[in-house]
Structure 1
Amino acid sequence: MVDFKITTETVEEGIVAISVKGFLDHTAADELQTAFKGLFSQSIYRFIVDLSELTHLGSAGIGVFISILDILNHNKGTLVFVQSDTSKVQQSLKMFEMSTIYPVVDDRATALSRIKMFDSIR
């Protein structure tokens, strides 16, 4: 079994950082989807998704991020990716044009600033 780990951390009230580590395939995608559902049930809709320690991002993982888009939009939510240094993960983000859906930034501080910017224009 390939290693995969999700951790969550409240950054500020209503903003959660989700760190995704390891190999995000179809099995791990279910775990990620469950994590998002749990946060949605707590009325949390603003996320920093830290991919900096992700080694593989498969289509099922991409599918999770696409599937939550309507929920985020309906609840004025925001998701910002902190990019991975892994070229395979970067290629997946580019191939699926994820940066046209969600911002991709270099670090958590920039991600938090981006979320606050979105909040100020809503």
Structure 2
Amino acid sequence: MGVPEPDLVLTVHTPRPGVAVVDVRGHLDHHTASRLRGRGFELIDQGFHHVVLNLAHLRFSDSTGLAVLVALLQRTRTHQGTVVVAAPPERLRKMLRVTGLSLVVAEHHDVDHALAAIESDGTVGLGARHNV
């Protein structure tokens, strides 16, 4: 009998055209990262070029989570979009800083602040770290 894989639950909200909020709940690791990457790519390909990852309920993320973040960022940038994170756990915030991703991925205290940073014309204000 094997050990069950850690869970990852993704819930998507689309508060306005071109913007998707993905609530990420559970564990983000090599077992589950492909689900977030796949769902994120689907959203981007459907026209949601600005993606907010709500990490308030993320219990664990390893470096695989950072790889997914980079992949989503690259995909959104091909459409002049972006990825921002809301409420990242402290461990992930540290990984973003150590790797330099905090310079290109905006961090916000919560989803409301992240959405406010996405301008009405679909752009994200300058500066990588806001309200953290």
TM over 0.5: yes
Which of residues 46, 68, 78 is equivalent to 2:50? 46
Task: Provide closer, same or farther for how the CA distance between residues 105 and 120 of structure 1 changes in structure 2, counting only shifts above 3 A.
Answer: closer
How does the TM-score come out when normalised to structure 1? 0.86
Instruction: Give the fraction of aligned pairs with identical amino acids, expressed as a percent.
Output: 23
Which of residues 93, 109, 112 is equivalent to 2:115? 112
The structure in which a higher percent of residues are helix is: 1
How does the TM-score come out when normalised to structure 2? 0.80
Instruction: Tell me which amino acid in the other structure corresponds to 1:23.
Output: H
Number of residues of Structure 1 aligned to a counterpart in Structure 2: 120
Structure with the larger RCO, 1 or 2 (CA within 8 Å, 6+ apart): 1
CA distance in 2, matches of 1:107, 1:87: 14
How far 1:120 sits from its partner (Å)?
7.4
Which of residues 37, 41, 52 is equivalent to 2:41? 37
- Measured on the aligned residues, the alpha-carbon RMSD in Å equals 1.9
The answer on whether the counterparts of 1:16 and 1:44 sit within 8 Å (CA) in structure 2 is: yes
Q: Which has the larger radius of gyration?
A: 2
The residue that corresponds to 2:22 in the other structure is 18
Where 1:40 maps in the other structure, the secondary structure is helix
Q: Which stretches in structure 1 are left out of the alignment for 5+ residues?
A: none
* Greater shift in the superposed pair: 90-99 or 29-38: 90-99
Instruction: Tell me which amino acid in the other structure corresponds to 2:52.
Output: I
The answer on whether the counterparts of 1:83 and 1:90 sit within 8 Å (CA) in structure 2 is: no
CA distance in 1, matches of 2:45, 2:93: 30
Q: Which stretches in structure 2 are left out of the alignment for 5+ residues?
A: 126-132
Offset from partner CA, 1:81-100 (integer Å, 9 cap, x none) = 1023x432333233323211
